[in-house]
Amino acid sequence: MKAKTAKVMEIPEEEKRLDKQLCFAVYATAHAFTRAYKPILDKVGLTYPQYLVMLVLWEKAELPVKTIGEQLDLDSGTLSPLLKRLEQNGLIKRTRDSRDERQVIVSLTPKGQAMRAEINTIMSSIGEAIGCTLEEMGAMREMLTRLRGNLNASL
Amino acid sequence: MKAKTAKVMEIPEEEKRLDKQLCFAVYATAHAFTRAYKPILDKVGLTYPQYLVMLVLWEKAELPVKTIGEQLDLDSGTLSPLLKRLEQNGLIKRTRDSRDERQVIVSLTPKGQAMRAEINTIMSSIGEAIGCTLEEMGAMREMLTRLRGNLNASL
DNA sequence: CAAAATTCACTTGCGTACAATTTAATTGCG
DNA sequence: CGCAATTAAATTGTACGCAAGTGAATTTTG
């Protein structure tokens, strides 16, 4: 039975530069997105991760914490305090599921529902900042989604 | 004098879904990268952002904090404590620039230099996890870099 | 040249991320 | 049924990110 033969190839020096790293391109773009969203989301009092949670809830107004975590790829260690802040801001409500008391059901308050009206403004603003064609955006999104699948599969 | 006419277009419902958001594709892929790097970088005792700083220093062994921040798009609020940890781990040294006492010059220690030998292993491992062709990687990197430029320009 | 403005790094405070642990509830299995 | 394994959420501890503010050094300007 052969042990794991880690094929360690010699990488050309050129390829070792920071600006040649795909990981860094993704990392830095993620931060750029957060910064671009900030002035827009400040107006409605949301952080970017909180906005993502709201996006999930605007699709389905009532979900257990676990499902939200699956969709955003976040664990309860991140979501618990974040949801607590959304609750304090009056956007969501948290209730134990009577069918399974382990679960906490997150649901939108009227205020949280009403905020959905801001989607058009938010997405239009960010769309302008992105400055790509819809085709490019779609292509990038698909490539990234596949890449993410590969990375997750490698674990 | 007309005020800024924000063209707020009506966004189709379909486009409002989380999984149609380019920003989320980037955000989630960035996390996937961090997770994929973790088992690899744990072996050498680095976090992913610390690894990025080391990449910069492996290109040029002596740089002011400001330059590192410019290359990584991070401010001193993030770098100061991170560099302190790298220093505590014996990988870098920090000295005030005698020409300009405001600046702190970060330089690699012998231990930090020696760690450069791990690049091949690290990049080969992650390259396998990425599971894309070199062409795809290059295309994605270029698109993301342009996107990042657009987002930064919008501020 | 001296006061004002700027620059650089550090610190503080808040909000993620995530590993690891804890607590409570439910499931599975003998 | 009864107890061990599993599951869900919260908590704890560490490490980013970043805004805002501090303090020291340098540059700009009147």
pLDDT one digit per residue (tens) for chain A, 155 residues: 555 555 677 889 998 999 999 999 999 999 999 999 999 999 999 999 999 999 999 999 999 999 999 999 999 999 999 999 999 999 999 999 999 999 999 999 999 999 999 999 999 999 999 999 999 999 999 999 999 999 999 98
The pLDDT of residue A4 is 52
In this structure, is the CB of residue A100 within 7 Å of any atom belonging to strand C?
Answer: yes
Cα–Cα distance, A112 to A54 (Å, whole number) = 8
The pLDDT of residue B5 is 57
CA-closest candidate to residue A69, choices A59, A82, A58 = A82
Cα–Cα distance, B69 to B73 (Å, whole number) = 5
Question: From the centroid of its chain, how far is CA B64?
Answer: 17
- State the CB neighbour count (10 A cutoff) for residue A99: 7
What is the percent of chain A where pLDDT is above 70? Answer: 95
Predicted TM-score (pTM) of the model is 0.93
For residue range B7-23, what is the model confidence (pLDDT) as tens digits?
677 889 999 999 999 99
Cα–Cα distance, A27 to B9 (Å, whole number) = 30
Note the CA–C1' distance, B117 to D20, in angstroms: 40
The pLDDT of residue B1 is 52
The pLDDT of residue A137 is 95
Task: Write out which nucleotides of chain D lie closer than 7 A to a protein Cβ.
Answer: 7-13, 15-21, 23-27
- Secondary structure class of B148 (helix, strand, coil): helix
Ordered per-residue pLDDT tens for chain B, 155 residues? 555 555 677 889 999 999 999 999 999 999 999 999 999 999 999 999 999 999 999 999 999 999 999 999 999 999 999 999 999 999 999 999 999 999 999 999 999 999 999 999 999 999 999 999 999 999 999 999 999 999 999 98
Q: Name the closest nucleotide to B47, judged by C1' and CA.
A: D15
In this structure, is the CB of residue A64 within 7 Å of any atom belonging to strand D?
Answer: yes
> Residue A111 is encoded by which pair of tokens?
């205020």
- Alpha helices by DSSP H, listed for chain B, are 22-42, 48-59, 65-72, 76-88, 110-114, 119-130, 134-153
User: What's the mean per-residue pLDDT of chain A?
Assistant: 94
Pairing of strands B104-108, B62-64: antiparallel
Task: Tell me if A116 sits within 8 A of A123, measured CB to CB.
Answer: no
A61 in B contact zone (CB under 8 Å): no
The pLDDT of residue B68 is 98
- State the CB neighbour count (10 A cutoff) for residue B66: 14
Residues near A2 by beta carbon (within 8 Å), at least 6 away in sequence: none
Enumerate the residues of chain A whose CB falls inside 8 A of the CB of residue B36: 151-152, 154-155
